Each structure stands twice: as C-alpha cells, then as structure tokens.
Amino acid sequence: MSIRTKYLVLLGDGMADRPVAELEGRTPLMAARTPNMDRIASKGVLGLVRTIPDGMALGSDVANLAVLGYDPGAVYTGRSPIEAAGMGVDLGPGDVAFRCNLVTLGKGDSQDPDTDLAGELSPELIMVDFAGGHPSGNEAGDIVSSLSDELGEEGIEFHPGVSYRHLMVWRNGQEQLSVGPPHDLTDGKIAQGWPVGAAAEKILNIMTRSVGVLADHPVNVRRRSEGKKPINAIWLWGQGLKPGLKDFKAVYGLDGAMITAVDLLRGLAMSIGFKVIDVPGATGYLDTNYEGKASAAIEALRDVDIVYLHVEAPDEAGHSGSLADKIRAMEDFDKRVVGPTLRDLRELGPHRVLLMPDHATPLEIKTHSGEPVPFAIYDSEITVDTGNTYDEVCAASTGIHVDNGHELMGKFIRKEL
C-alpha cells in the first residue's frame, strides 16, 4: 500500500513587491533574510504565475480563488459574499453582502489631518487609515454593536468580524454599485472611490449616518485619550451575491483544511468544503501566532491531504507603506512558519510544498497590483539544487511562467511542475 503524498500551501499574502530605492533597487523579498524560502526555491521549481486575470479587481478574493484552483472569471461574484460564508452568515438568492471597514477619515493635510468630521461625509475627506488604527476585538465589537443598534433596520444587518473587517447585509438588496476599496484610497481624497450606481444613495446614507454614531463613541473617547486614531466612519464596498463553488475534493480528489485569521479566506475554505482550523492568537497582523499556525498545519495534515496556510501580515505592512514592517513580516513568516513546517513535514512521508503570495502589494503604491508573482514548489522525492533564491527577479530568470493562475493548483497536485 503506497503512502499518500501530503500537500502544503504556504501563502504569504502580498509578499511580492517592486524595486525600492532605499534598498538600492532590490525588492523587499531580495533584502529580507529568508533562508527557508530560499531553500524551497533552490531545491524545487521556481517561476512566475499571474493570479489576477486582466480586467478583474486587484483583490485577495480574486487572487486566492485562482491559487485555490478556481477560475475567477467563471465563478467570482464579489468579495463580501465569500466573507459572509466565513462568518457563518447565510445569504439568500437576492441578498447582497458588503464589506464594512472601520476607517479613519480626515480633513486637510493628509500628514496631519483633522479627524473631527462634525457629522459630515464629503468626497473631499482623506482616507487616513483604511484599517481604523487596527482596533482590538473588544473595541471593534463595541462599535459594530452600536452600528447595529443605530443603523440596523428592516433588511439591513451588521455582523462583527475581526479588527477593522466587518460585514453588512442588505436583504433583497441592490448590488449595482461601483465603489473604491478603501485600501486603494490611502492618503488620497475619498472622491476617487465615491459610491456611484443604483445602490449609491442607500449606501451613502448609511455611511454618512455612521459618522454621527461614531463621533463621540466611548471607544473613540478612549482612543483619543490614548493618542490613537479614532474610528470615525465606515466604508461599505466589495458587494456581491452568494457564489456557487464546487467542492475542492470533487475537483481535485483531495480533502483539505484552511488556516487563516481572515474571514475572506475562511469563507473561501467553507465554500469549497475545506475544514477551517482556528488558531488561538491568529490576528491577521504582525503579532499573529506564527508558531501556532505552523503546528496546526502539521497536525491537520495527519488527517487531510492538503493544507492551505495563509499569513496576512506582509499584505498589511504593504498597505501601510512600511518597509521595516514588510521585511519583518516576511522574515517572521520564513523563520516561524516556513522553517518549522519544512522540518516537521519529514515525519509525514512524501510531501509537496507550494510557496507563494496571492498578489503583490508594492510599498510605493500601498495597494495591490496585478503583475505575476513568484511561486516555488518543493517535492520531497526529487533531489535538485539549482542555487535559486526566492524573489521576483530570480523567479523571472527561470523562464517558467504560468499565465492562468487557476491552473497552478492542478499542476502542483498532479506533479506537472
């Protein structure tokens, strides 16, 4: 009886980047100390993959659908309905889910903004922080509870998520809306992403009323006294209807599990029949429980065929524009997740590891971009040593390029790369 191969996907969200002048033209991946990721690149297959099809939204939803092996162009219906699945919120055929970010808006200079909005929501306001200063779980819970009490009405529901990421559902609602993702508006006027379309009047009304609800909220009174940014508005975006995705096992013949702190990834996992494994202390930020995630992945692989281990921290650092934080996030990922899992996988028998980001989050633009990203595949039963390192430049030099990102998963599982 042959031993089944185990599969592990190690995904560092937003790791890929562009050359940085401060690094003398190197990318953060090139500058970071990542010996374990380099080992995968050297002893495996290294190349580039395009995870976001031309013309589609430059988001983690689209990109992770592709990495999981689903064609976004055929199955994508919006970001928020996927997050709804991850939060256990059931959507009917006409129900529209919206991501509800807790944000900090300001007036005047983006470097020194006035965050007292006086109850107004104007296109001239600046998106100071799309993450509202990364509120704690208790702070976010109190705010979402107040939003639900003050803004909830027949057909409008608010559901708490994690930190700044929450959900609003409009039952039998209107999805015709174009609105900019808040992370694309950082340091700029929100006019660039101002809601337009049939649903805009309703959505703008809710967002405007949120300013009044939050102005003197106890959480903000406390945050201001501690010198922290207030959470002074909500931003509704990423709307969509419930998607229909085939079970991963039906498509690829493998049982799977997901390890993540992000509702979007939880929702993807639940939508394709993956088991979702909760890790205490997993935050989706720099302080996440890396060791707990690594340990949980190995334990899960004793029972399932494939584990998708997602770490959000590099993406958050990219959005903040912090070079130091991005390098720290990738070095922590390498040392505290990639290294331990490579070590402990040996006791499970034959295995394959796919290492990659879902998309690039360049520091220079503080948001997602659509260029191809580096991937590396290691197979425990194949012995090579190419001397490659895991970074964008080396990956491009190999000449291996997967144009349709959703095809990479099948190639990984079928050992075609």
d(CA 73, CA 359): 16
Q: Angle at CA 276, nearest 5°, toward 274 and 277?
A: 135
d(CA 87, CA 152): 18
pTM: 0.82
**What are the structural domain ranges in the chain?**
6-76+245-413, 96-240
* Phi, psi at 164, each rounded to 5°: -95, 0
| pLDDT of the residue at 1 | 45
**DSSP summary character for residue 335:** I
The token duo for 379 is: 């197979």
Residue 7's identity, in one-letter code, is Y
Give 10-70 as a DSSP string: EEETTBB---BGGGTTB-HHHHS--HHHHHHHHTSEEEEE--S-TTS--SHHHHHHHHTT-
d(CA 236, CA 31): 36
Q: Say which CATH topology domain 6-76+245-413 has.
A: Alkaline Phosphatase, subunit A (3.40.720)
Question: pLDDT tens, 255-273?
Answer: 999 999 998 999 999 999 9
| pLDDT of the residue at 118 | 87
Along the 417 residues of the chain, how does pLDDT read in single tens digits? 467 999 999 999 999 999 999 999 999 999 999 999 999 999 999 999 999 999 998 999 999 999 999 999 999 988 899 989 989 999 999 999 999 999 999 998 777 899 999 888 999 999 999 999 999 999 999 999 999 999 999 999 999 998 999 999 999 999 999 999 999 999 999 999 999 999 999 999 999 999 999 999 999 999 999 999 999 999 999 999 988 899 999 999 999 999 999 989 999 999 999 999 999 999 998 999 999 999 999 999 999 999 999 999 999 999 999 999 999 999 999 999 999 999 999 999 999 999 999 999 999 999 999 999 999 999 999 999 999 999 999 999 999 999 999 999 999 999 999
Question: pLDDT tens, 103-112?
Answer: 999 998 777 8
The token duo for 283 is: 């935050």
Burial of 275 (0-12, 13-18, 19+ CB in 10 A): middle
d(CA 205, CA 162): 24
Q: Give the 3-state secondary structure of residue 285.
A: coil
Bridge partners of 170? 96, 156
| pLDDT of the residue at 112 | 83
| pLDDT of the residue at 326 | 98
| pLDDT of the residue at 177 | 95
